[in-house]
Amino acid sequence: MTVETATTVDQLNALYPASGDSRSEGDDHVRLIKSALLGSFTGASTTGVTGFNVVTQPDGNNTTLAASTAFTSAAIAAAALSATLPSQSGNAGKVIRTDGTNATWGDVLARVDVSGTTQTATAGNDYWLTNVAATAVTAPTGVDGKRFAVTPANGLMTNTVDFGAATVRGPSTTATGVITINLGARMEFVYSSTISKWVLL
């Protein structure tokens, strides 16, 4: 007789029944398969349960089992922000910015359309250069954390920003004086009193 004993599908022997086994054992094999299926997929036989019961991993168990609700919740709780959020007091209408370590509140830059060839900038504004000729923008006095931006909306690559004696730190170098926005793209700057420089964002 080759009718094995099994309570779950992983215990079934794929080689059974053997070719020479008695046909009278066929019903035993069918009942065994049904029993093993119901034993493995218990959720399917439970009233009101949709699908199958799945073995899940407990909190902190980094195995390949399916993640339980408790495991997922614990993982989310453990993923704390690396930067402490600053106080909301007195910062209505501002946005949070981070340097990768520290979070600070910053002003939302207001759009200012510039139709002339010169403009003295004020911190907190985004200057849209709409004049058909190149426009020269003079940077504001540097105040820690204050920002301004220049958007060459005229499509020219000859607009300039004059920082005077102030130094600007870019991705790979620093510059002083007049900078040409020769990429034709928006440029935003923030002043850092720590390094006494404007920083290109």
Say yes or no: 127 and 165 in one domain: yes
Say yes or no: 156 and 111 in one domain: yes
Say yes or no: 66 and 99 in one domain: no
The answer to whether residue 4 is domain-embedded is no
**In angstroms, rounded to a whole number, what is the distance separating the alpha carbons of residues 117 and 137?**
8
Number of compact structural domains in the chain: 2
Say yes or no: 193 and 157 in one domain: yes
pLDDT of residue 166: 93
Say yes or no: 66 and 103 in one domain: no
- Give the residue numbers spanning the domain of 128: 95-200
Q: Which of 50, 78, 106 is the last residue of a domain?
A: 78
Q: Which of 52, 78, 104 is the last residue of a domain?
A: 78
The answer to whether residue 2 is domain-embedded is no
Q: What does each of the 201 residues of the chain score in pLDDT, given as a tens digit?
A: 578 888 888 888 888 888 888 888 888 888 988 888 887 776 555 555 555 556 666 666 666 666 777 777 777 777 655 556 677 777 776 777 776 677 777 778 889 999 999 999 999 999 999 999 999 999 999 999 899 999 999 989 999 999 999 999 988 889 999 999 877 789 999 999 999 999 998
pLDDT of residue 69: 74
pLDDT of residue 86: 74
Say yes or no: 33 and 69 in one domain: yes
Say yes or no: 34 and 121 in one domain: no
In the DSSP assignment, the letter for residue 168 is: E
Sign for the CA dihedral angle at 177, 182, 184, 189 comes to negative
Q: Give the pair of three-digit tokens for residue 41.
A: 């997929």
The answer to whether residue 162 is domain-embedded is yes
pLDDT of residue 138: 97
Amino acid at 29: H
Q: Is 25 exposed, middle or buried (0-12, 13-18, 19+ CB in 10 A)?
A: middle
Q: Which of 53, 78, 103 is the last residue of a domain?
A: 78
